[in-house]
Chain A
């Protein structure tokens, strides 16, 4: 029996972690993720979980302790944001390189400088090549669901998973949510029985060797293969989750996309605003549609290209800037995927909402209005646009 609740995104995720009851959690406070270790420390103090909680002295040590614990044979989780994720950067690659199924909840926040505590996706986009599976969440419900699924995906793929949702917008807003029963979660994630781990009573092993020219390349290729293979694992786990809860999660979500002429691609909470805008536009006869990637790592590049091929024009929205003299990361990767799939749709990039700049429905209307103009004239005047700057 599902349980109806009203929870903030962080509460929902902490609840998922309580139900998962991992062996070890190591975390360090950082806005807006701080509440997760706070809630979790309460669960530990009050005995509602039997987890070993390590209140580390930094995020670098949070991920390092997770690596030590996971390699030792524990089911391990952590949470962070922004500078915390940036500080973990080195160890993120070690977590994936050692094939450790660590679940990291990243509450998306802007990166310094200037310092800013509000939402954008610079943090997780900066870690996009770290070998973590990345799942993005529009709502509290998706944050809860993905956190539970992440455990199973990570352990099957033998890759760490990053669950990403928007700081404050999702982390601190209270929404209606359907929770699973404790037993259901317990059964869904099952017992974690790693094949190889340091504390195995039966044999000792060495992990993390120096690997030189004759072996490093093959080992890195195995990680690349694992990421490719994780796509099917994500689908399987999501299907199993759907059967249990009735909530469907694919590699991406489509909204009014199949017959759309004007399309946008956007991650996380802004997809909710975009759906509202699309409803209004549809009521006026504008064929607007949306594709919201859930899974950015691995990138479903063939599927997304196939989905957008019949659009007249496409906007790809980035809540992060690559500062590369070209475009945001989502735009670069998806247009590249379209090119290699021979999908030729005029596509523009919008960098939006950096540092928590509010994204209103009017901003989305503005994007669709630009798309209409491009569709009519066939002309793109600005490839990379900055949406919602003051004075514009």
Chain B
């Protein structure tokens, strides 16, 4: 059936109102959309790494996790927690103690995924559990007040990489976890963002959840506080990240790359950067080279993806 946003928003909600995420945060719409891909009768067992999503969605005695079971354990162990739950499911089903069909989904921010949770995630993916891991990537430790993570973009101003007179923000490039996950030889890896009518995010989430085996998704999750944009510009941030190819939308299915969105007009990365306080210092005359360098990096990655798409598709012919 063709995707329709109207049908989508009428599906059973599993992440319900009452949570305390900030206005203009990218994570709640991501979580809601991902969970709306679940079939009506399927249940979900969800875990979240410690972070904004976790501390804002389940504050005793309340929970925003409706029509799903939820567990939070720690910061770095979402991959291992969901592995254990999934193994329990297999055992209890085999022993006839439970009957419902349940899907296993872990959420983590980029800190809990690319940094501290990297080992547990890698182990879980390698072992082949039937799980989906969703990283909502806002490019920093936003819950503790915008510290740098390995996902923080090059040159960004954070509280642990402050743009100073000697060091102009974060000096390292982003870790590319989407590519690293693909090298785990798992059946499905996707990079997406909640743009437009959410079709890209929805279709990838559905594929990830309903592909047997371990699957991984990186979802861009703008953060008004950490990035410095007005809260009503959330969708614009997503759109600009994608249209500048700062955040390419693509998927890797059994090793084959497919770019799911190719902007008709690829905008200069500057258009994305200039909207955000964290890149403000790049627009000083003497820092122009940083914008140029970021553009080079973006172009290089985009070119790499185009070639990967061509190459991996040729292998399968």
Give me the interface of A with B, judged by CB distance under 8 Å.
Answer: 23-24, 26, 50-52, 54-58, 60-62, 64-74, 76, 90-91, 94, 98, 198-201, 204-212, 215
Contact = CB atoms under 8 A, between A and B. Distances in A.
Interface in B36-87: 43, 45, 47, 54-55, 58-63, 65-74, 76-77, 79-87
Contacts of B90: 52
A62 B89 CA distance: 17
Closest 6 CB pairs of A and B: A68-B84, A57-B123, A65-B84, A64-B80, A64-B77, A61-B80
Contact of A198 (B54, B71, B95): B71
A56 to B, nearest CB: 6
B68 A204 contact: yes
A70 B87 CA distance: 10
Given A58-B119, A58-B123, A60-B76, A206 B88 contact: no
Interface residues of B, number: 51
B85 A71 contact: yes
A159 B8 CA distance: 43
Q: Which of A62, A72, A199 counts the most chain B CB atoms within 10 A?
A: A72
Contacts of B66: 204
B87 A69 contact: yes
Contacts of A201: 98-100
B74 A65 contact: no
B60 A68 contact: no
Nearest to A208: B72
Given A51-B91, A90-B74, A210-B58, A68 B123 contact: no
A57 B120 CA distance: 7
B58 A69 contact: no
B269 to A, nearest CB: 37
Nearest to B97: A73
Q: Is the interface of A mostly helix, strand, loop or mixed?
A: mixed
Nearest to B62: A209
A181 to B, nearest CB: 21
Contact of A56 (B63, B76, B123): B123
Contacts of B80: 56, 60-62, 64-65, 68
A24 B86 CA distance: 10
B77 A61 contact: yes
A67 B59 contact: no
Contacts of A91: 73-74, 77
Contact of A68 (B43, B62, B65, B82): B82
A72 B98 CA distance: 11
13 contacts: A23-B88, A54-B84, A57-B122, A65-B84, A67-B81, A73-B98, A198-B45, A198-B70, A199-B89, A204-B67, A209-B59, A215-B60, A215-B61
Contacts of B95: 23, 50
Contacts of B71: 67-68, 71, 198, 206-208
Given A52-B87, A57-B120, A65-B81, A209 B74 contact: no
B84 A208 contact: no
Nearest to B45: A198
Nearest to B63: A206
Given A57-B123, A60-B80, 8 more contacts: A26-B87, A61-B79, A64-B81, A68-B83, A72-B92, A73-B92, A204-B69, A210-B55
A209 B72 contact: yes
